[in-house]
Amino acid sequence: MCGIIGYAGHRPAVPLLIEGLRRLEYRGYDSAGVAYIEAGALRLLRAEGKLGELEKKINGRDVTMATTGIGHTRWATHGVPVERNAHPHKDNSGRLALIHNGIIENYQERKNELLELGYTFASETDTEVLVNLIAEGVKETGSILRAMSWAFARVEGAYAVALVSPDEPGVVYAARKSSPLVFGQGVGENFVASDIPAFLPYTREVAFLEDGELVRLDANSWQVFDAATLEPVDKPLHHITWDVQSAQKGGYKHFMLKEIFEQPRVVADCLAGRVDLRAGRVRLPELDGLEPPRRLTIVACGTSYHAGLWGAALIESWARIPVRVEIASEFRYRDLLLDGDDVVLAVSQSGETADTLAGMRRARELGARVLGLCNVVGSTVSREAERVVYTQAGPEISVASTKAMCSQLTVLYLLALYWGAAKGTLPAEVAARALTGVHGLPQVIEAELPRMRERACELARKYASVRSFMYLGRGQSFPLALEGALKLKEISYIHAEGYASGEMKHGPIALIEPDFPTFALALRDPLFPKVKSNLEEVQARDGRIVALTHPGLDLAVDDPWIIPEVWGPLNAFLALPCLQLFAYEMADYLGKDVDQPRNLAKSVTVE
């Protein structure tokens, strides 16, 4: 979640680094720092808190002569968020400065070895261990480049790092393993960052670094190496077409709200060129030439996992393909039974989800074909999958994912239609209804969003005092119940649990009371009578109910939330923004920082 930027060029580096870090603020952070080379010396400035605190330390200093440097925003995971733990970190000699995202899993072992060699440590971070390990590598190998390779061979875990030294005053070194890092080529200047917006005002020419690669850059040149062998690697440049404005709030109070209201456009963009109403079919050229899976496993985390659960039912119904949906953090450690007849679909908004990537790699080792479904062109998922279908949702800035799930539902819907048509299992009348319905869906969502927000505001004010919520749904509404509960606890910090409605009576019903309300998805479908019966059980225990429902349904609850009815599974696309808006308005009413994750200053885990 931390932000990284490195620069070598002709501009004053420190103001540029601060500007780049500000464009990465959406990642969430609790301290910040910069390191730069000035008059042959390595300078370090760090501060606890937001970038404004770092800028106060910079004010009054003449930093205009420095044209090389690195900057970092840190989200505390190992060591409390105080200045001594902020990045960059120096080695004991003061000749190296390093910034780092990720986890060095064997940091304690390496730290003990360095302590025996006489090294001392001023922080609790694994990053300070890594920079001193590189310093030891310089003694062993005689150069920074070889030292980084030497050190990386001795650490386990994930990292994206950038390093500067007055011994090579115009140079930045950077490397990655299981943590995103991109290079940007300018004119008389070069960049490296954890995300493209950090340097987008200066260049649109980028190269995506792969795991196990190391880049050396200065103002006029750059070279990528295999970090293990130091053999040069040829890297193509990609031209980025979107601009910084697409990552701004556009007049909305929070990025999250903006992205909820972008969902009609997201659906339209995802459908563009893929739905041929005249021919009555879906076009997915990304999958041309591939047979439909015999067995499909969807691997994902969090919101993407919920999207996979929703899509699995459609794929099984329309394409008659057996589908399992697996949480990636569990899947990767299982004794898996996969072979060449299996297809694994990795679903990830960013394309950089570590557990999902590990699951992909396990599946590939066992002979399964691996497909990707993600949002970010050039991401690791997109590069490592055999084929990839992009969701085309655009940059998602808010920490709480919203439009990404909407786009994932759209692609999964199209996949079910595409494979159903390819197998001949999809009835013509279902295909026609499905295509016509999804084609008109963006207009329906756009028309309803203002009314949805108004109702969400009313309900948030009524329920803002509660400390727990139960979310219930059946069938394809069950994954939405899980997602609604996730969003509420993620941004409002109100405890919430999502359950399949029929499971409520197997234990959770004991919790029902007036101060523990239920949010139910009670849409018109074959399971509505069952849902209604479940809600009567809640009412028998004096539980209050918010019910997302359709006009004309016989449902007597405390707070009905009536939304228009569309065709079949497309109702999920109207239910989803209601769940998101309710969570958003609850959080906003309670004064939460909606776009940032909760401050975890008291947690102490490996960084």
Q: What are the tokens at 151?
A: 């050190």
Please give the Cα distance from 424 to 292 (Å, whole number).
11
Backbone phi and psi for residue 64, each to the nearest 5 degrees, phi listed first = -75, -20
CB-based contacts of 509, cutoff 8 Å, min separation 6: 537, 538, 541
For residue 6, the surrounding DSSP H or E stretch is strand 3-8
Q: Return d(Cα 17, Cα 217) in angstroms, integer.
A: 16
Task: Kindly list the distances between the CA atom of residue 31 and the CA atoms of 21, 47, 78, 394, 474, in Å, as whole numbers in the listed order.
Answer: 11, 6, 13, 28, 43
Residue 208 β-bridge partners: 182
Query: Do 489 and 495 form a contact (C-beta atoms < 8 A)?
Result: yes
Reading the block at residue 64, the tokens are 């205009």
Cα separation, 184 vs 152, in Å, equals 23
- Rounded distance, CA 455 to CA 530, Å? 26
How many whole angstroms separate alpha carbon 121 and alpha carbon 125?
9
Known active-site residue 406: no
CB 89 within 8 A of CB 33: no
Helix, strand, or coil (residue 139): helix
Instruction: Mention every residue, 6+ apart, whose C-beta is less than 8 A from residue 401.
Output: 302, 303, 304, 349
Across 193-208, b (16+ Cβ under 10 Å) vs e yields: bbbbbbbbebbbebbb
Which helix (H) or strand (E) is 548 found in, with range?
strand 545-549
The C-alpha atoms of residue 604 and residue 133 are separated, in whole angstroms, by 22
485: left (phi over 0), alpha (psi -120 to 50) or beta: alpha
Phi and psi torsions of 124, nearest 5° = -100, 15
Alpha-carbon radius of gyration of the chain: 26
CA distance from start to end of the chain? 11
Which candidate, 510, 557, 563, places its Cα nearest to that of 531?
A: 557
* Residue indicated by tokens 């070889």: 146
Contact 580, 480 (CB under 8 A): no
Query: Residue 2 catalytic?
Result: yes
Contacting residues for 39 by C-beta, under 8 A, at least 6 apart: 65
For CA atoms 566, 570, 575, 576, the dihedral sign is: negative
DSSP string for residues in 237-294: -EE----GGGGS-TT-SSHHHHHHHTHHHHHHHHHTTTEETTTTEE--GGGTTPPPPS
Catalytic residue, candidates 2, 374, 406, 578 = 2
Which residues form the catalytic set?
Answer: 2, 602
